[in-house]
Structure 1
């Protein structure tokens, strides 16, 4: 069963439709097809080969019912006149309800299953009452579609500044965002009147070569970087991405244009500063142990001071214990840990003429 790529609807959807019979449809043939919305009229673009299918992302599917006959062509013209009358009725209802919306286009499906209304609005619109009135007036199902300015250009625009049909109305199924960064990278003029499309936004074609520009720019030294050439060291001032040329300034102050292939190497940012910082770090590493040694000794001394016991005069019990330990080693400490220079309060006073600090008697245990 042959398959064909068919464009249908006012939004120019792309679908891969199968044919019921063995009839061959040539390019541009108008057919009646069954889509997810109902019976619609579409144009055959080509046969859906494997190569073509790789170029279409998430295509809609359907079935080709028959080619459009002469009688159906006449019916389609009457349907176009009916759309004009439907638009007038819809705009009258919108004005009656005072809704802040603008009708862009109206689509009435060939099979009569529904009427699709495409509109613009800055704020969210509550159109439930409008839909009830329209369903009664048009005697069919009404579907409201809120679109953006790019979709408006897709519906109404014809040709672009290049002289060809606008991209959004021919081959673009999705319209990704375009930023000013893309225009700056390609060195396009920043005049909004020259880089804006029919929708008033940045042209979609600015995105087409953006990936190529990015890939080529990676092969060039960045602006502001120091490079080494056959004539010596120079600074990159600007790039010509497509031609692969650089505008550089030499150490003598001359500005010359060179080819990127003439660049021998790309120097790091401020090599001299990095060398100075490296030498400074080495000197710091050498002086660090010397300065750290006295600091560690001071820390140890302060730690010993914190860990040292309080003064012996503050606690008599600690004095006695310490005195007992020292007496075992044969020190000059009297019994009970008392200082020999001080009299024992529990002993009687020495007789007159004797010194309290004199040598102990033979019967005294030392």
Structure 2
């Protein structure tokens, strides 16, 4: 079975590729890979040890060969031409009066395709722009609308934690995130505290959300009354990681109660129909 690698491309894009032709490869070297109707170039990221079951649709393409010095020079030429195309593209966008923000331009290594990434609030009719770009650059043109999270991923940057953005370093997809994920962890709902560089909720809010939800199920709600061996009080706070809650007694003293010592209150389970019968005083035998 050929070795499986991840290959990194411009804009922090990463994809899986098989070493089908069993080349001798080293991490962080440039390789030529199969692409859509041609070839592309990327940086060998890492070898995947754990087997991955791919569907026929998502089956990885092949690494064709290690990049030569000439290939690397062509890559530099592509990057230079991408920068030159930026100003020209902005002028064409203005000419056609399109409400869109250009994010990035990327040549496929063999220059058989040129991709323009942009963001926009609404759907954009860019057919006239595509015609002008195809006439100017004499290659296949693709305009790809992306979201603000994808924009942040392509640009890169560092989060409030001081580490490289998750979407830049390892995330392959974006899971739905809501303020409920922040609320269950007891975090401030101040947007400036829980938003990333993209302006959306931090991706890391999702990492521990499930653990918090599962752990907190065995605890009473904060503010709820609770009786301890030392007396009754109010649940003041819950420490999920050390698995205890702090109960503030009526005397002002604080007592730790660990999860293993919490006794669940038994609740009588009654169905809607039993409550309905009881309210209407209907005998079950009727």
Same fold per superposition (TM over 0.5) = yes
RMSD: 3.0
The 1:231/1:267 distance shift into structure 2, 3 A limit, reads: farther
Distance in 2, Cα, partners of 1:19 & 1:267: 59
For the pair shown, the structure with the greater C-alpha radius of gyration is 1
Mapping of residues 288-327 of structure 1, within 5 Å:
none
What 5-or-longer segments of structure 1 have no aligned partner? 272-280, 290-366
SS state at 1:247 partner: strand
Q: How many residues align?
A: 272
Q: Deviations over 1:49-95 (max 9, x none)?
A: 3x15379xx86511111111111111111111111122222111111
Distance in 2, Cα, partners of 1:264 & 1:212: 18
What 5-or-longer segments of structure 2 have no aligned partner? 269-277
The 1:207/1:262 distance shift into structure 2, 3 A limit, reads: closer
Mapped contact 1:228–1:267 kept (Cα < 8 A)? no
Whose RCO is larger (CA < 8 A, sep 6+)? 2
Work out which of the residue numbers 246, 263, 266 in structure 1 matches 2:264: 266
Return the TM-score normalized by structure 2. Answer: 0.83
Mapping of residues 132-171 of structure 1, within 5 Å:
132-171=131-170
The 1:61/1:54 distance shift into structure 2, 3 A limit, reads: closer
Mapping of residues 47-126 of structure 1, within 5 Å:
47-49=47-49, 51=50, 53=52, 61-126=60-125
The 1:119/1:234 distance shift into structure 2, 3 A limit, reads: same
Q: Which has the higher strand share?
A: 2
SS state at 1:16 partner: strand
Mapping of residues 1-366 of structure 1, within 5 Å:
2-36=2-36, 38-49=38-49, 51=50, 53=52, 61-250=60-249, 252=250, 254-261=252-259, 263=261, 265-267=263-265
Distance in 1, Cα, partners of 2:58 & 2:3: 12
Return the TM-score normalized by structure 1. Answer: 0.66
Mapped contact 2:5–2:16 kept (Cα < 8 A)? yes
The 1:29/1:240 distance shift into structure 2, 3 A limit, reads: same
SS state at 1:87 partner: helix
Residue of structure 2 equivalent to 1:318: none
Q: Which has the higher helix share?
A: 1
SS state at 1:26 partner: coil
